[in-house]
Chains A and B, each alone.
Chain A
Amino acid sequence: MTEKILTRNFGRADSHTLAVYRETGGYKALDKAAAMQPAAIVEEVKKSNLRGLGGAGFPTGMKWSFIPRGHTGPVYLVVNADEGEPGTFKDRYLLERDPHALIEGMIITARAIRSALGFVYIRGEYVEPWRRFSTAVREAYEAGYLGRGFDIVVHRGAGAYICGEETGLISSLEGLKGWPKLKPPFPAIKGAFGAPTIVNNVETLAHVPHIVNRGAEWFASLGTKTQGGTRIYSVSGRVKRPGIYETSVGITLRQLIYDEAGGVAGNGRLKAVVPGGSSAALLSADEIDVTMDVDGLKNVDSMIGSAGVIVFDETVSIPDALVVVARFYAHESCGQCTPCRESTGWIYKMARRIAEGHGRKEDLDTILDVAKRGAGTTICAFYDGAVGPYISYIEKFRGEFEALIPRA
C-alpha cells in the first residue's frame, strides 16, 4: 500500500487548522523553497513528473516554465478549485480537511513563477469548503505566511461547469461569463487580467510542498515512468465502499475497484467504468487492467481526467446513463462556439428519444457521426469531453441501444 501523502491528515481531528498542519510538518517546505532560486523550484517540479490533476494531465513544471523569461509585470497564480467534473470530489476534501497544504503549495509556486498575487476560484456550490479554506487563509495571514510578498484572494464561482476549464475560469474571475478564451494567446503569456497566468488544480499544488521537502526523485518514484506521485481517486457508483482513495498513479483500475473500493455493489457483476470523470470514455468490464495514470488511460482511448471513477454494475442501463450525461453537456455548454452549442442539445434530444423508445434506426449513427465531426473543432476541450461518452457509450453497448429502437 502506498504511503498517504495528501490525505495523511484527513483522519485527524481539526486537520484543517493551522495548528494541526504545523504539528504534522506543515509549512516546513517554505524555508527550503525560500533558499531555492525560482528556476530551481521549477526544475525540481519538472523532475518530479508531477502532472496536472485537474483533468488535462499537463506536466506542471513545464507549464510553469511557459511564463515569458524577463517578464517584469505582474504574474498571477490561479488555483482551479471549481471542482465539477461528474464523479469527482477530491478537491472538496482537500479544501475542507487540509486547506493549508494548498496554501503552502501556492506560496512555493508563487515563488517559482514570481507571482505576488494568487486567486483561488472555488465553485459557488462549495459553501463549506469555501468557509474552511477562507478561515485557513486568515490563519495563514495571521501567522505571517501570507501578506509578505504573496497574497491570496478567495473567489467564489456562481454555478457553471465550464469555469473549470482554465480559460473559462479566467473569464469568470474577470467578472465575465465563463466563456473560454481563444488560444493563442495561452494563459502563461496573456491570462487573467491580461497578465501571464498559471492555472493549477488544488490537488496538483497540494503536492508541491512534499516535492520540495522530499525531493523530485522520491516523488517520481511513487508513480509510473511518465507521471510521478500519488493522486486521490474519487470512486462512486456501484461499489461497496465509495469514497476517496489516495494511491500511486500506477494502480490499476481493477485494483482500485476491487482492492480499495471493496468491489462491485449492485448485482456484483461489473458492466462498465467511467475512469476519469464523465468526460472520459467509458471502459467496458474487460478493459479495467489499465494503470490509472495519464498514459495508461490514453492507451485505451480514454483519459484519466480528474480521476473520478464511476462504476456501473450490470443492472445499469447504458442508454439511460447516456441521457444523464448528454443532458449534463447540453446544460453546461457555454454556448460560445457553434458545434458544441448546437450539437450538445441535439444529441441530448436524440439520446432521450432513444431511451424513451422513440428512436429511429439511423439515430445512433447520427449521434456518432455528429460527435466525431464536432470533435476537435471547438475553442476548448469541453466538447471533446462530451464526445468521449457519446461515442463510447454507443459503440461499446450498441446492442443495448438498438434493443430500444422500435422496428419499422
Chain B
Amino acid sequence: MTTGPGPTHRTPPTAQAGRAAPATIIFSPEQLAEVRRLQSLYPDKRGALLPVLHMAQDTFGHVSLEAETYVASLFALSPAHVHEVVTFYTLFFQQPKGRHVVAVCHNLSCHLAGAQRIIAHCKETLGIDVGETTADGRITLQAVECLCACEHAPMAQVDDRYELDLTPDKVGRLLAGLA
C-alpha cells in the first residue's frame, strides 16, 4: 500500500514539444528515481505506465519504438503490451511532432460554431493537412474530438493551453505567434 504525498508534490513536468530526441533513449538518474516513485504510488507498479509514458514523451519528444522498449524494460512488460497502450491513446505521438501541436476541436458544439472554418484556415495558413507537421517542424495540426470547453466554441488546444472563442483572424494571429 502506498502512502505519502502523491505525484502532485513535484512540479508537473511541462511538455517540451518539438525538442529533438536525445541520441539514446535513456532517463537520467533523477528521472529513474521519479519512475520508481511513481511506480510506488500504485498497488501494482504498472499503474504508473501512463505517467511514465508521458514522461518519456516529454523527454524524448515522442514515444518511439525504442522508447516503448525502454519503458517496457522499466516495468518488466513485453514491448507489445506497451505498444498496445501507446497506440490506444491519442496523446502519445509515435512519430516526431512539431514544436507546437495545434489541436482544433471539431466535435458538436465547435462544429456548430464553425470549427471547419477554423481548421480550413489553419490548413491554408500552414500549407499542411490535418495530421501533418509543417516542413520546418514548427507546427503539427490536428482535428480532435471534444475537449470539453464547448461554452467557448470554437476552440483548440495549443500545446498545454486552451485557446477559446476562436475566429479565423484569432487563430491566424495565434499560429503566427508560435515560434
Chain A residue nearest to B107 (CB atoms) is: A86
Does the CB pair A173–B47 fall under 8 Å?
Answer: yes
Contact between A242 and B6, CB atoms less than 8 A apart? no
Q: Are A156 and B54 in contact (CB under 8 A)?
A: yes
Measured CA separation A307–B93 after assembly (Å):
32
Interface: A373 (CB within 8 A) = no
Q: Taking CB as reference atom, which chain A residue is nearest B15? A: A127
With contacts A130-B12, A160-B88 taken as known, whether A175 is within 8 angstroms of B5 at the C-beta atoms is: no
B108 lies within 8 A of A310 (CB) = yes
CA of A177 to CA of B2, assembled, Å: 23
- A234 lies within 8 A of B151 (CB): yes
Q: Are B108 and A172 in contact (CB under 8 A)?
A: no
Is A15 in contact with chain B by the CB < 8 A criterion?
no
Assess the A89–B151 pair: CB atoms within 8 A. Answer: yes
Q: A14 an interface residue at 8 Å Cβ cutoff? A: no
Partner of B151, one of A84, A141, A235: A235
Contact mask B12-51 → A, CB, 8 Å, 1/0? 1001000000000000000000000000011110111111
Contact of A86 among B9, B75, B109 (CB under 8 A): B109
Task: Tell me the complex Cα distance, A83–B84, Å.
Answer: 23
Question: Knowing A134-B12, A174-B44 touch, does A128 contact B4 (C-beta < 8 A)?
Answer: no
B95 within 8 A of A: no
Complex CA gap A125/B147 in Å reads: 7
Interface size on B, residues (CB 8 A): 50
Q: Is A300 an interface residue (CB 8 A)?
A: no
CB closest residue in chain A, given B3: A151
* A117, B2: Cβ atoms closer than 8 Å: yes
Q: How many residues of chain A are within 8 Å of chain B by beta carbon?
A: 71
Q: Does B173 contact A (CB under 8 A)?
A: no
Is A172 a contact partner of B146 (Cβ separation < 8 A)?
Answer: no
Q: Are A154 and B148 in contact (CB under 8 A)?
A: no
Q: Are B146 and A86 in contact (CB under 8 A)?
A: yes
**In the assembled complex, A38 has its CB within 8 A of some CB on chain B:** no
Q: Is A380 an interface residue (CB 8 A)?
A: no
A158 interface residue (CB < 8 Å to B)? yes
Query: Would you call B108 and A87 a contact (CB within 8 A)?
Result: yes
A175 touches B46 (CB 8 A): yes
**Are B88 and A193 interface neighbours, CB within 8 A?**
no
B5 touches A158 (CB 8 A): no
Tell me whether A156 and B51 are in contact in the complex, defined as CB-CB below 8 angstroms, given that A87-B146, A310-B150, A328-B146 are known contacts. Answer: yes
Residue contact A92 to B148, C-beta cutoff 8 Å: yes
A236–B5 CB distance below 8 A: no
A152 part of interface (Cβ distance < 8 Å): yes
Task: Judge whether A92 and B4 touch: CB under 8 Å.
Answer: no
* Cα A332 to Cα B54 with chains together (Å): 20
Chain A residues with CB under 8 A of B178: none
Chain B nearest CB from A151 CB (Å) reads 6
A85-B146, A244-B151 are known contacts. Are A321 and B5 too (CB-CB below 8 A)? Answer: no
Q: Which of B8, B151, B152 contacts A138 (CB 8 A)?
A: B8
Q: Is B137 an interface residue (CB 8 A)?
A: no
Residues of A with C-beta under 8 A to B48: 175
Chain A nearest Cβ from B99, distance in angstroms: 17
Q: In the assembled complex, which residues on chain A have CB atoms less than 8 Å from the CB atom of B42?
A: 153, 173-175, 193
Complex Cα spacing A138 to B49, Å: 22
**What's the nearest-Cβ distance from chain A to residue B16, in Å?**
13
Q: By the criterion CB–CB under 8 Å, are A153 and B6 in contact?
A: yes
Q: Are A134 and B46 in contact (CB under 8 A)?
A: no
Set of chain A residues within 8 Å of B112, measured between Cβ atoms: 237-238, 310, 312, 316, 321
Contact of B89 among A124, A154, A325 (CB under 8 A): A124
A176: chain B residues within 8 A (beta carbon): 46, 84-85
Let me know if B91 and A159 touch, CB within 8 A.
yes
Q: Kindly list the 8 A-B residue pairs having the minimum CB-CB distance in the complex, ordered from nearest.
A: A175-B49, A134-B8, A159-B90, A158-B89, A236-B150, A175-B46, A159-B91, A86-B146
| Between-chain CB contacts (< 8 Å), 25 pairs | A88-B148, A88-B150, A125-B91, A127-B12, A147-B3, A147-B5, A153-B7, A154-B7, A154-B8, A155-B51, A157-B50, A158-B50, A159-B90, A160-B88, A161-B145, A173-B47, A175-B47, A175-B49, A177-B85, A195-B43, A234-B151, A237-B108, A310-B108, A321-B111, A324-B111
By a beta-carbon cutoff of 8 Å, the part of chain B in contact with chain A is 1-9, 12, 15, 41-44, 46-51, 53-54, 75, 84-85, 88-92, 106-109, 111-112, 145-153, 157, 160-162
Q: Assuming A86-B150, A89-B150, A159-B91, what are 20 further A-B pairs, CB within 8 angstroms?
A: A84-B148, A86-B109, A88-B150, A91-B148, A124-B89, A128-B161, A138-B5, A141-B9, A155-B7, A156-B51, A158-B54, A158-B90, A158-B92, A175-B44, A175-B46, A192-B43, A193-B43, A234-B150, A242-B152, A278-B107
